Chain A
Amino acid sequence: MLKYLDEYRDKDLAQNLVAQINYASKKSIRIMEVCGGHTMAIRKYGIQNLLPPTIKLLSGPGCPVCVTSRSFIDKAIAYSAMPDIIITTYGDLMRVPGTSSSLLKEKARGADVRIVVSTLDAVKIAKENPEKTVIFLGIGFETTTPPTAIAVLEASKIKLKNFLILSAHKLMPPAMAALIDEGTLIDAYIGPGHVSTIAGSKIYKPLVNQYDISVVISGFEPVDILQSIWMLVKQIESGIPSVEIQYSRAVSQEGNLKAQNLVNDVFEPCTAFWRGLGAIPKSGLKLKPEYNSFEAESLLPLEIAEKPEPKGCLCGQILKGQKIPTDCKLFGKTCTPEKPVGACMVSDEGTCAAYFKYNDY
C-alpha cells in the first residue's frame, strides 16, 4: 500500500496531469477547496503554480479550528475557570484565540485543560475522576462527529454522570451552499476527502442540482489533487456538472453507514455559528433530547455572545474565499504561527498558516 502512496507523489505522473490540465482548460474558472488538508497539500506542493492562468484556486472554510467561533472558545475558557472542571480537547484548539485569552494561556494559569487524541480518552478521564466534571470540546465536521457520538454512547452505557460535551460540530454542505448564496464566485469545489469517507459523495448532490456547481472528492497526495482538478476542468468544459469521486480508495457514494447511523442516533441538526460566515441554519449538530444530560450548555448554562474578530484580522473574509492572507496587514508581522492573532494562523490546516509555512506568497 505504501508503495502506492509513493506513486501518488510521482513527479512524472504529476507532470503529465499538469500537461493534461493545461491542454483541457479553456474557460476561466474558480475552484475552492473546503478541507484544510487540501489547503495544506496545495500550498506544500505549490500546485497553484503548476496550473494555467485560467484556473484560480481558493481556500474555503475547511479548517475545523478556524471556523470555530470565538464565543465557543470563550465558553470553554469560562468553564475552565469553574471549580472542579476538567476541559478535554484536541490539541489544535489550545492556541485558538478567544476574545481575551486562549485555552493554553488558561492552562498556564492553572486551569485543568487536557489534550486528548481520542474521544475515548476523555471518557476515561471522566471515569478516573468521579469527583470532577469532564467537558469534551466537540469540534469538527462529519469526520470527527462519529467519535464524539461513540463517546456519548459509551458514557451513557456506563452511566457516567460527570461527562459533558460542548458541541461545535458542523456539517459541510450547508456552509458550501452559504458561500455561494453570499456571492463568493465559485465554479467548482474540491470535495473534502475524509468528510466524504464518512458521509459519502451523496451529500453534495443537492448542491450540484441547486447551484450547477461541479464537485470532485479528492485524496491528499499531489497526484490526487491534480487529477481532481483535471476532472473538474473536464466537467466544466463539457458543461455538465456532477459529483465525482477521485478518492475512490477511501470514499464511496454511500459513505460509512455505521458511522452515519451512530451520529443520527445521538445528534440532531441545529443552527451553528461559523467564524466568518455567521449563523447558518441546520449546519451544526447538537445532542438529541434523550442525551441532554451530557450537554454542557444545558447543565451549566452560560451567556456568552459572539464578539467581532480582532482589529485588522481578515479571517472572516479569508474563510469565505474573498480575501487571501497576504491581503491582511498583520500577516507575517504581528500575526505568525508562534503568535497567532486570528484562528486561520493557528492550525497547520489554516489558510494563513499554510501560506506562511510554505512561503507561497
Chain B
Amino acid sequence: MCLSVPAKILNIEGSNAKATVGGSIINVSLQLVENIEIGDYVLVHTGFALEKIDAKTARETLAMLTSMVEENPEDMIRFIEI
C-alpha cells in the first residue's frame, strides 16, 4: 500500500492528469503538488502525485557514486585482498 511509482505526466486538466507507468495509463490527482508540467515525472501514491521527481538530482547522485568508486580504487583493492 505504501508503494509509490514514478509516472510521467501525459496531459493535465485542472487538478487531474493522465500519466504513464510501465506502459499503462493512470489517472492522477495533482491536488497535493504545484507547478507540474507535461513530461514531468511524479511519484504517485494511492492516485495522488506526492512530489515531482527531480531527474537532475537522480543523475547527480549516480554521477557522484560512480566517481566516488573511481576515486578510491585503493580502498576497493584493499577490501578485495582482505
Asked if A8 is an interface residue, CB under 8 A from chain B, the answer is yes
A13 sits at the interface (CB 8 A): yes
Asked if A248 is at the interface (CB within 8 A of a chain B CB), the reply is: yes
CB distance from A260 to the nearest CB of B (A): 10
Complex contacts, A20 vs chain B, CB 8 Å? 68-69, 72, 75-76, 79
Interface centre among A63, A91, A227 (most CB of B within 10 A): A227
Measured in the bound complex, the distance between the Cα atoms of B58 and A37 in whole Å is 19
Given A13-B66, A13-B69, A349-B1: A144 in contact with B46 (beta carbons within 8 A): yes
- Chain B residues with CB under 8 A of A150: 29, 31-32, 48
CA distance A13 to B62 in the complex (A): 9
For A251, list chain B residues within 8 Å (CB): 51
Q: Quick check: A349 and B69 within 8 Å, CB to CB?
A: no
A contacts with B, residue count (CB < 8 A): 52
A146 within 8 A of B: yes
Instruction: Chain B residues near A91: list those with CB within 8 A.
Output: 1
Q: Which residues of B contact A258 (CB under 8 A)?
A: 32-34
A117 and B69 contact, Cβ closer than 8 Å, known pairs A36-B2, A63-B2, A256-B33: no
Q: Which residues of A sit under 8 angstroms from B65, Cβ to Cβ?
A: 13, 16-17, 223, 227
Please judge, given known A-B contacts A5-B6, A250-B51, A250-B53, whether A90 and B46 are in contact too, CB under 8 Å.
Answer: yes
A347 at the interface (CB under 8 A from B): yes
Given A143-B45, A150-B32, verify A90-B55 contact (CB < 8 Å). Answer: no
Q: Are B61 and A249 in contact (CB under 8 A)?
A: yes
- Distance from A120 Cβ to chain B, minimum over Cβ atoms (Å): 6
How far does the alpha carbon of A117 sit from the alpha carbon of B46 in the complex, in Å?
6
A4-B58, A13-B66 as given contacts; A197 in contact with B50, CB under 8 Å: yes
Contact indicator A143/B4 (Cβ below 8 Å): yes
Answer whether A194 and B43 are a contact pair too, CB < 8 Å, given A7-B62, A250-B51, A250-B54. Answer: yes
Q: Are B50 and A248 in contact (CB under 8 A)?
A: no
Contacts of A248 in B (CB 8 A): 54, 57, 61
Whole-angstrom distance between the alpha carbons of A141 and B46 in the complex? 13
Q: Does A262 contact B (CB under 8 A)?
A: yes
Most buried by B among A4, A17, A249, A251: A249
Task: Tell me if B69 and A146 are in contact (CB < 8 A).
Answer: no
Q: Is A147's beta carbon under 8 Å from chain B?
A: yes
CA distance A91 to B3 in the complex (A): 13
User: In the assembled complex, how far is the CB of residue A100 from the closest CB belonging to chain B, in whole angstroms?
Assistant: 24
Verify if A19 is at the interface (C-beta below 8 Å from B). Answer: yes
How many Å from the CB of B1 to the closest CB on chain A?
4
A251, closest chain B residue (CB)? B51
Give the distance to chain B from A55, nearest Cβ to Cβ, in Å: 14
| B61 cross-chain contacts in A, Cβ below 8 A | 227, 246, 248-249
| 8 A Cβ contacts from A247-276 to B | 248-251, 256, 258-259, 262
Determine the distance from Cα of A91 to Cα of B31 in the docked complex, in whole angstroms. 23
Q: Are B31 and A4 in contact (CB under 8 A)?
A: no
* Alpha-carbon separation in the docked complex, A92 to B8 (Å): 25
Q: A7–B61 Cα gap in the complex (Å)?
A: 11
Whether the pair A249, B79 counts as a contact (CB closer than 8 A) is: no
Judge whether A23 is part of the interface by a CB distance below 8 angstroms. yes
Which residues of A are found within 8 Å of B68, using beta-carbon distances? 20
A118 touches B47 (CB 8 A): yes
Cross-chain contact of B53 among A16, A249, A256 (Cβ < 8 A):
A249
**What residues of chain B have their CB less than 8 Å away from a CB belonging to chain A?**
1-4, 6, 8, 29, 31-34, 41, 43, 45-48, 50-51, 53-55, 57-59, 61-62, 65-66, 68-69, 72, 75-76, 78-80, 82
A-B residue pairs in contact (CB < 8 Å), sample of 14: A8-B62, A17-B65, A20-B72, A62-B2, A146-B50, A147-B29, A150-B31, A150-B48, A194-B4, A197-B4, A248-B57, A249-B53, A249-B57, A256-B51
For the complex of A and B, 9 pairs with smallest distance between CB atoms = A118-B47, A16-B69, A249-B58, A92-B1, A249-B57, A4-B58, A23-B79, A259-B32, A1-B41
